[in-house]
Amino acid sequence: MVLRRLLVPSYADWLSVVLIAWLFVAGSGWMALLADGDTGWHIRAGELILDTHRVPRVDPFSFTQPGAPWYAWEWLSDVLFAGAHRALGLKGVVLLAGLAIAAYLTILFRHMLWQGADVFTAAIVCLLAAGASGIHYLARPHVFSLLLLAVALWLIERDRAKPGGLVWLLVPLTALCANLHGGFVALLASLAALAAGSLLEGRLASARRYGLLLAACGAASLANPYGLELHRHVLSYLRSDWIRTAIDEFQSPKFRSESAFDFELLLAAAVLVAGAAVRRRDFGRALLLAGWAHAALVSVRHVPVFALVAAPAIASQASLWWRGWAETRPARSLAGIAGRLASEHSSAARSLSLWPAAVVLALVLLPLPWPRDFPAAKFPTAIVDRHPELAGARVFTSDQWGDYLIYRLYPRSRVFIDGRSDFYGPRLGKLYLKIAYVQTDWRCQLSRFGIAFVLADRDWPLANLLRQDPEWRLADEAGPAILLARAGGTAPAAMNSHSPPATCYGAP
């Protein structure tokens, strides 16, 4: 019996395989996980930690803020990506991220089954959650946060159903998450909502229990290389007006895509389920749903967390309503047959076989079309290949392409700016936009920093202007990028980047 259970895949096992095929094999495949350049600096930061055996305290990547304090807040994720990269190259990086995403969605599916959802409803809601969150399926540290949060929310629901000691595993889980990604704050916020909900319900013992758990998890999150500085950083990062204005993923969802439609369906269902929870006086669940729905509407980066919180409640409530209606239908009706099939197959969906491990092994060994570089449609891969003189030169480029230059050229080169918006802040961020969009004194700023090359998107105003500028020459064009070099091949000496000369304000 045990052998049969290990060899025969369950519906949950099949779902994990389907998710991998749907998300990472079909369409643009594994390459989609490299659509964000931040992966590049995460890999190099992890390698720096592996080589030096310590987490950084000053910036190693830029020439605009040399020696400025910098903290690798997601240092453990960086190490994981660097280890995967050293073992298998970019194949290892995308495989690690893709399997983390498939694993968290499989855990979500099993959570829904445990909470009483039938297998068909759970599968539909799980696919909606996957679709709604797809915009964030990238090889970045947040994938590990989603994986741990899926585990944490299931532990919390088990405890709400039947209090026990297992929920205290959240304490070491929080410590682990605090070293992987700032998403540990989502767990603390969820525990706070449950404690507040228990107070509203008049369940003082439960409120005290979740209050103590919140305090213990909060204390555990201090077990990171930066201590309380991590929390100050995360809070300032989330409250920053500059970041919320300048970074797309901090802005509200744009309801013009398939993933946004999936989010809309989940949001509408969550409103109905929250109303049912209020009628049952389950204020903890209602607060969780309302709070994360609000967060997702304010910032698209919170959509995956909302989906994790909402999906089990939606699936279990929908299954309850479906069963109640199906039981009133004739046994031979379509609804009656579907209800019996759902009931019969749900129990078989929970078992765990060896098939997921076999699929992972096959992915490691099979010669699939794994990425060897970042997507050429989004990054200047060909230009960097053809121009070794970029190594060691000062290049002005976008934050995303700065990430890519770190991946390709570090430690030989430093960058003007990259995807670490929290590190560069509004001062340098606005200066970067000023140069890119040829605003006041942009020419002086290029000279101030000793820029020898401009690697720009073809549509940048700066690229179009420099094409006509006699001080610059067209060096190359490929894919989305254009490379411009100073005529004569030399750049003015870089000046002190921390105290700009007065001539860089006003006249160019």
- Whether the link from the prior residue into 411 is cis, omega within 30° of 0, is yes
Query: Nearest-CA neighbor of 466 among 375, 381, 397?
Result: 397
Instruction: Round to whole Å and give the CA distance between 246 and 420.
Output: 12
Q: Are 393 and 295 in a shared domain?
A: no
Token output for 454: 């401009």
Which pLDDT belongs to residue 14? 79
Q: Are 325 and 432 in a shared domain?
A: no
Which pLDDT belongs to residue 496? 41
Q: Are 308 and 238 in a shared domain?
A: yes
Q: Are 346 and 386 in a shared domain?
A: no
Give the number of other CB atoms < 10 A from CB of residue 205. 9
Q: Is 82 helix (H, G, I), strand (E, B) or coil?
A: helix
Question: Does residue 390 sit within a domain?
Answer: yes
Instruction: Round to whole Å and give the CA distance between 426 and 433.
Output: 10
Instruction: Round to whole Å and give the CA distance between 175 and 218.
Output: 9
Instruction: Indicate the DSSP class of residue 418.
Output: -
Owning domain of residue 461? 381-504
Specify the number of domains making up the chain. Answer: 2
Query: Nearest-CA neighbor of 405 among 380, 428, 378?
Result: 380
Q: Are 308 and 438 in a shared domain?
A: no
Q: Are 321 and 435 in a shared domain?
A: no
Question: Does residue 28 sit within a domain?
Answer: no
Which pLDDT belongs to residue 226? 93
Low-confidence ranges of the chain (pLDDT < 50): 495-502, 506-508
Question: Does residue 100 sit within a domain?
Answer: no
Q: Is 232 exposed, middle or buried (0-12, 13-18, 19+ CB in 10 A)?
A: exposed
Please report where in the chains the tokens 């909502």 appear, as a residue: 193
Which pLDDT belongs to residue 301? 92
Q: Are 278 and 178 in a shared domain?
A: yes
User: In this predicted model, what pLDDT tens digit does every residue of 423-482 receive, in sequence order?
Assistant: 999 999 999 999 999 988 899 999 999 999 999 999 899 999 999 999 999 999 998 999
Token output for 480: 């989305």
Question: Does residue 223 sit within a domain?
Answer: yes
Q: Are 342 and 204 in a shared domain?
A: yes
Q: Are 107 and 19 spatial neighbours (Cβ–Cβ below 8 Å)?
A: no
Question: Does residue 247 sit within a domain?
Answer: yes
Residue type, 21: A
Give the number of other CB atoms < 10 A from CB of residue 208. 13
Instruction: Round to whole Å and give the CA distance between 110 and 352.
Output: 10
What is the Cα gyration radius of the chain?
Answer: 25
Backbone angles phi, psi at 380, to 5 degrees: -80, 55
Q: Are 160 and 300 in a shared domain?
A: yes
Q: Are 422 and 288 in a shared domain?
A: no
Token output for 182: 């700032």
Domain CATH number, residue 389: 3.40.50
Q: Are 352 and 15 spatial neighbours (Cβ–Cβ below 8 Å)?
A: no
Q: Are 441 and 507 spatial neighbours (Cβ–Cβ below 8 Å)?
A: yes
Backbone angles phi, psi at 9, to 5 degrees: -70, 140
Backbone angles phi, psi at 411, to 5 degrees: -95, 10
- Name the β-bridge partners of 395: 453
Question: Does residue 8 sit within a domain?
Answer: no
Q: Is 67 helix (H, G, I), strand (E, B) or coil?
A: coil
Q: Are 141 and 189 spatial neighbours (Cβ–Cβ below 8 Å)?
A: no
- Whether the pTM exceeds 0.85: the reply is yes
Question: Does residue 257 sit within a domain?
Answer: yes
Question: Does residue 103 sit within a domain?
Answer: no
Q: Are 341 and 397 in a shared domain?
A: no
Q: Are 112 and 218 in a shared domain?
A: yes
Query: Nearest-CA neighbor of 285 among 253, 254, 311?
Result: 311
Instruction: Round to whole Å and give the CA distance between 378 and 479.
Output: 8
